[in-house]
Structure 1
Amino acid sequence: MVEPVMWEWLSLGVRWLHVIAGIAWIGSSFYFVHLDSSLKPRPGLPEGAGGEAWQVHGGGFYHMVKYLVAPARMPEDLTWFKWEAYTTWLSGFALLVVVYYFSAELYLIDPAVLALPAWGAVLVSVVGLTLGWLVYDGLCKSPLGRNDAALFGVLFLYLLVLAYGFTHVFSGRGAYMQMGALTGTMMVANVFLIIIPNQRKVVADLIAGRQPDPALGAAAKQRSMHNSYLTLPVVFVMISNHYPLAFASRWNWLIFGLVLVVGAAIRHFFIVRHKGLPSPWWTWGVATAGMLAIVLLSAAGPAGAGSTAAAPADGPVSFAEAEEVVISRCSMCHAEEPAWEGVPVPPKGVMLDTPERIRLHARDIALQAVMTHAMPPGNLTEITPEERQVLAAWIASGAKAE
């Protein structure tokens, strides 16, 4: 019992680190995008400066000046912003390993989608992360990269195609986590392989007395803007594993695409607003329409070819019939002492081993096993469509425990 408990605490510790690092990275990233947008040119700025901004915080004033390429002289002290991004990815990948790779049968694989061995699913995931970055990087460095609008459009289609493909390889939950991990990998690789190396080249040129190449800063800024627009969608995807209507829907890949649009629209509003330009209020209309479309698509039924949300069985269903389904298909994990190997505690603290507890969690049962097929994960306990119909009928009749 000691090992499962330690594994559970390891998962919590890594998740906590991931959240802390993510907050630090997003905070610094959003701050510098805001700063870059709020800079104003004025006469008398140092040579090579593109603008300045005055800020007040913590009882003091800050005078910020940005050089378009580099200052004439290298400063003695220079702060680098990189470890927040690196720690976010390292802890995120560790979490992917702890939760999804070591429990691939539970969270990554769905035999109804594709019957993969655990090692095969992990291999596909790792290769997908690597190739996903390489293709993205190639697109940015291609002639397409000279047109930001066209590049954004192609990248959107690229991520949408990947999402569609992964939903035909992994479970809905696993596909969403794969897309979250891939997008996060692209963002961190932008920092590690493009932004920081380009900045180092500029610093080296300054030290050597050479004129830095302006293209280095332009490429770094382009990748930084990609990161900024991808941040909100990534946050949504990474928390979506708690919400089956997002990942377990028949149109989960299209929902992912709409999340990209909604997140980018909201981010665009603040970026433009920080520039002092007229606020693009239309972005909130796009975001609202996108969220309404997501809600409608999530109600279209669970993922899987031809699958639909379970319809109530014909005729009345007793609680005893519903209880038999829950006990035989769910309670091996959702009990005070789970019997399923690798599950040390009932997931989310939900226990379904007594009539009172089953009735108490009727809403969760409806969401996880009737409206969607998120549970059992990968249908490991082989619940049948007829059994889901029994649960649907019991819930439709008021979910009475009698």
Structure 2
Amino acid sequence: MRSVIIKLIESLGKFGLDKLERALIFGAILVTLLAFVTGSIQLNLSWASFFFRWLHVISGVMWIGLLWYFNFVQIPSMPKIPDEQKPAIGKVIAPTALFWFRWAALSTLVTGLIVATLQGYVVQALLLGLLKGGSTTYIGVGMWLGLIMAYNVWMIIWPNQKKALGLVEATDDEKKAAARIAMLTSRFNTALSIPMLYFMVAAQNAG
């Protein structure tokens, strides 16, 4: 079984799937074909709400995945990396990861608000369902935590990371201070991500 899968993957490599953009195009074509074949596409408001929820999930996976990559992998690994190799992280990997990180955060926020609007609960959710409990309160708590996290990404983490990585002019002391602020804020967002994900799931399953 494994050898068959490996041969299939190798054959797909002939179509240039070693390039990320082609893999993404292949994925988009595949989901479109499967959606039409299974009849899951229905051009109505309900399907539009589902479509934006799907985009919301994809964006959230990218956002939280990168948040956890920074906190579980990159930050703990930096002290173990020889000084001569650290510029590869700061000059190449980190800026690219931060690009996808911040835009995924914004996409998660926007698509989530679109879903809440299409479903008709955006106002009640932002009011936390007036704390009556149930799915509207749960999704509201998740939304507010997500809003705080997205604000932290754009207004604290990214401005300080630009200083820390030398993307904007800053003294050595300013870079050091900015790196610590960005790290602590990222840690704070990691902590918030745990209840945020809990309440997002609770809104669908514990209401």
TM-score (norm: length of structure 1): 0.35
* 2:55 alignment partner, SS class: helix
Compared CA separation, residues 204 and 242, structure 1 to 2 (3 A): closer
Q: Which amino acid aligns with 2:139?
A: M
Contact map agreement 1:180 1:234 (CA 8 A) in 2: yes
Q: Deviations over 1:342-396 (max 9, x none)?
A: xxxxxxxxxxxxxxxxxxxxxxxxxxxxxxxxxxxxxxxxxxxxxxxxxxxxxxx
| CA shift for structure 1 position 192 | 1.0
**Structure 1: distance between partners of 2:79 and 2:179:** 19
Q: Which amino acid aligns with 1:92?
A: G
Counterpart in the other structure of 2:168: 204
Correspondence 1:2-401 to 2 at 5 A: 6-35=44-73, 36-41=75-80, 45-46=83-84, 65=86, 78-79=95-96, 80=99, 81-101=101-121, 122=123, 126=126, 166=128, 168-202=130-164, 203-205=167-169, 210-211=171-172, 213=174, 214-244=176-206, 247=207
Contact map agreement 2:163 2:169 (CA 8 A) in 1: yes
* 2:169 alignment partner, SS class: helix
**Structure 2: distance between partners of 1:167 and 1:125:** 5
Question: Structure 2 stretches of 5 or more lacking a match?
Answer: 1-41
Q: How many residues are aligned here?
A: 158
* 1:204 alignment partner, SS class: coil
**Structure 2: distance between partners of 1:78 and 1:167:** 39
Q: Which amino acid aligns with 2:115?
A: L
Contact map agreement 1:21 1:84 (CA 8 A) in 2: yes
Q: Deviations over 1:93-128 (max 9, x none)?
A: 1112111437xxxxxxxxxxxxxxxxxxx2x755x5
Contact map agreement 1:17 1:91 (CA 8 A) in 2: yes
Larger relative helix fraction: 2
Contact map agreement 1:100 1:174 (CA 8 A) in 2: no
Question: Structure 1 stretches of 5 or more lacking a match?
Answer: 47-63, 103-121, 129-165, 248-402
**Structure 2: distance between partners of 1:224 and 1:66:** 21
Q: Deviations over 1:191-246 (max 9, x none)?
A: 0111111123442116xxx43512211111111111112223222211222324xx
**Structure 1: distance between partners of 2:205 and 2:183:** 34
| CA shift for structure 1 position 11 | 0.5
Larger gyration radius, structure 1 or structure 2: 1
| CA shift for structure 1 position 40 | 3.9
Q: Deviations over 1:280-332 (max 9, x none)?
A: xxxxxxxxxxxxxxxxxxxxxxxxxxxxxxxxxxxxxxxxxxxxxxxxxxxxx
Contact map agreement 1:167 1:175 (CA 8 A) in 2: yes
Q: Which amino acid aligns with 1:234?
A: M
Q: Which has the higher contact order (CA 8 A, sep 6+)?
A: 2
**Structure 2: distance between partners of 1:125 and 1:168:** 8
Counterpart in the other structure of 1:264: none
